[in-house]
Chains A and B, each alone.
Chain A
Amino acid sequence: MRSLARLLLAPAVGSLFLWMIVPLAMTLYFSVLRYNLMEPGEHTFVGLGNFRFFVTDPSFGTAILNTLLLLGSVILITVVLGVLIALLVNEPFPGQGVVRVLLISPFFVMPTVNALLWKHMMMNPIYGVLAQVWRALGLTPIDWLSDWPLLSVIIMVAWQWLPFAVLIFITSLQGMNREQLEAARMDGATWLQQFRFLVLPHLARSIAVVVMIEMIFLLSVFAEISTTTGGGPGDASTNIAYLIFKQALLGFDVGVASAGALFAVVLANIAAAFLIRLVGKNMDR
């Protein structure tokens, strides 16, 4: 059985290994070169020069902070709201099917369209829907993208990823042991007690999965930022991915882009290590 198990794993591990190793090796190689697409043919070795350039960018610290803030906020929002919504729609009620499709739909929208949608139709302080709602309530509309750029991006990204969490939690809840819940209810357990001692532990693993997967995607949020705020004002909504784009891709500097990418990998590993400590034990209960 052992060898069979290994055989089953082989295609996944093998293909991923190739997919990882070749770009990684090339990136490592480029990161120590002076390689600009606009100057092909001149690849001189510059050691840590690219890294130094990337790290000494005045926005570097802010970019890291913004990346982590974005990551933490969206994960928190999607997990908490996701669990609540999944619980809400778990038991049957009229129109359950339609409601589920409606709930999942934001995930279907392309990130660039999502960004444009929010920027123009929702958040514009003059003709956006939110501004109209604010005015109807007698308040001055909030200038979302100028005054709260990072929060605006967080809202957009959370809206897009909430369905992902909801879907996974719904699926997980479907597999819950009904008899256990019934028994607990008969024993007089309140809803809150049922939740704490039966439902939450059951959901623990899927929460862990959602957290880890979202972490991976949220670390490289890019389209929303470039379409709406352009990383600004200042660097208030610049994250590491956007910094790489601005510093490197815009100047077609492959060397610095590679150095930045390696930094992003380091940051990702740190975030992963931290999150694993938080939720990891739930993975293989």
Chain B
Amino acid sequence: MDLNSPSGQKIALGVRTLAAWFVALLLFFPILFMLVTSFKTELQAIAVPSVWIFTPTLDNFTHVQERSDYLLYAKNSLVTSVVSTLVGLLIAAPAAYSMAFFPSKRTKDILMWMLSTKMMPAVGALVPVYVMAQTAHLLDTTFALIVVFMLSNLPLMVWMLYSHFKEIPPEILEAARMDGASLLTEFRHVILPLAMGGIASTGLLCLVLAWNEAFWSLNLTAANAGTLAALIASYSSPEGLFWSKLSAASVLAIAPIVVFGWFSQKQLVQGLTFGAVK
């Protein structure tokens, strides 16, 4: 069987499509289950064997809306995640640029050191950070969360951007520089387009990490700055059935991110190849 013949290619495509869809659905299944559960009653949610055919209800979603201030939590999550990611990218990009295109003997050490700032487990650093926030009167503010998220994700952003910048061949930059481009122009017109896929995926991943961050979100906030992590935390009750409600709350918590993911994913697909640039 000649895989390079047109019919061979078609079969290969068919197999690939099937395999890809199978794997994707397999990985997605638990989330699908959760999505379905969010439309069930509590009684249906715990039924054995699992119920797949049932009358869906929106009760859980309205319950979540009534009971907690979803919009406040969503707003806080949005603000803290987006701002911390944007500011982080602003700080990380120059650093990654510097290390990728002007490497020195210390570059690897600096990279490792940056990663090492994340080695202290949060559970151990809880009291020092709490006391710091308390002294600065920053408890229960979105500002504190933004700072914490940004600094927590900064090492990752530097690492990932560094990796993506390294994939740009230096010849392209040389060419731009020889044409007399300034640093800013070089960055905006050469690097940014080429690394857009990388920047987008870095931004998305760090946004998700900030969005899902629960430890600091719960410990440094009270009534005003709580994020969606606090919303979710209020649903896993130790005494009482809550599966369908928790599922609904989780769906509401993930929804904005999925939208982000969809748009960012388009950036990935648009990644330019070498041939096109040349």
Contact = CB atoms under 8 A, between A and B. Distances in A.
The reply, when asked whether chain A contacts chain B directly with Cβ atoms under 8 A, is yes
Interface stretch (B59-67, B68-76, B95-103, B138-146): B95-103
Interface in A154-176: 159, 162-164, 167-168, 170-172, 174-175
A167 B201 contact: yes
Contacts of A11: 91, 94-95
A167 B27 CA distance: 14
A206 B13 CA distance: 27
Nearest to A127: B48
Interface string A100-121: 1111111111111100111011
Contact of A112 (B95, B183, B233): B233
A26 B131 CA distance: 10
B271 A175 contact: yes
A89 interface: yes
B183 to A, nearest CB: 7
Contact of B197 (A107, A174, A262, A264): A174
For the residues of A in contact with B, the DSSP-based class is helix
B108 interface: yes
A257 B102 contact: no
Given A129-B50, A265-B120, A102 B27 contact: yes
A167 B131 CA distance: 37
A257 B119 CA distance: 15
A108 B274 contact: no
Contacts, number: 291
Given A109-B31, A206-B163, A280-B108, A257 B124 contact: yes
A258 B121 CA distance: 10
A110 B253 contact: yes
A23 B133 CA distance: 11
Contact of A219 (B121, B154, B159, B214): B121
A98 B117 CA distance: 36
A269 B27 contact: no
A122 B102 contact: no
B30 A91 contact: no
Given A108-B258, A159-B27, A121 B34 contact: yes
B122 A5 contact: no
Contacts of B258: 101, 105, 108
Contact of B155 (A16, A172, A222, A254): A16
Interface of B: 13, 16-17, 19-21, 23-25, 27-31, 33-34, 37, 46-50, 91-92, 94-95, 97-99, 101-104, 107-108, 110-112, 114-129, 131-132, 151, 154-156, 158-160, 163-164, 166-167, 183, 197-198, 201, 204-205, 208, 211-212, 214-215, 228-229, 232-233, 236, 243, 246, 250, 253-254, 257-258, 261-262, 265-266, 268-269, 271, 273-275
27 contacts: A5-B98, A9-B94, A9-B95, A16-B155, A23-B128, A26-B132, A27-B125, A27-B128, A88-B20, A101-B262, A103-B23, A104-B261, A106-B30, A107-B208, A108-B208, A113-B34, A120-B243, A175-B198, A177-B273, A179-B275, A216-B115, A220-B123, A222-B121, A244-B123, A257-B124, A257-B127, A269-B116
Interface of A: 1-2, 4-6, 8-9, 11-13, 15-16, 19-20, 22-24, 26-27, 30, 37, 85, 88-89, 91, 93-113, 116-118, 120-122, 126-127, 129, 132, 159, 162-164, 167-168, 170-172, 174-175, 177-179, 205-206, 208-209, 212-213, 216, 219-220, 222-223, 227, 240-241, 244-245, 248-249, 254, 257-258, 260-262, 264-265, 268-269, 272, 276, 280, 283-285
